[in-house]
Amino acid sequence: MAGETDLNKMLASLKPKLHDEAYIFGTFPQAHYGDHSELEPIASFVEAEGLTLVIPQHRAEQYGIPYEAVFKCITLSVHSSLEAVGLTAVIATQLTKRNISANVIAAFYHDHVFVQNGRAEDALAALQALK
């Protein structure tokens, strides 16, 4: 099933969902994809500086992983195409109006927006206002 590419249709069926779990972004120099599976990462990215993992905050604390900030994840329930144009820009602009950072990870079916833990409810309300 192909994802949606029409921006107006995507916004009309956005249905943002705020997850309960708190997450951190951790970096692991000299690590490789697949390392640190015990941390239960929900996302990873290999950069020149090391492996970035998005992991539950409780796992970071359990394993003594340092972090700078805590985030909540808002999943945009619309099945957006990876070739869709404009959705990330609209989301980022809407959150920028409220001074909320947007760290967006696009997966095959959905986009996932990581926002500051203390601003998660505000971010959800801002995204629900989009139509």
The CATH number for 102's domain is 3.30.2130.10
User: pTM to 2 decimals?
Assistant: 0.91
d(CA 80, CA 69): 28
**Cβ-Cβ contacts under 8 Å for 103 (sequence gap 6 or more):** 25, 71, 113, 114, 115
**Does residue 107 sit within a domain?**
yes
- Convert 18-35 to b/e letters by CB count within 10 Å (16 or more is b): beeeebbbbebeebeeee
pLDDT tens, residue by residue, 1-49: 678 787 778 788 889 999 999 999 999 998 888 889 999 999 999 999 9
Instruction: For CA atoms 18, 120, 23, 75, give the dihedral sign.
Output: positive
Say if residue 57's pLDDT is above 90.
yes
Task: State which residues form the domain around 65.
Answer: 7-128
The tally of domains found in the chain comes to 1
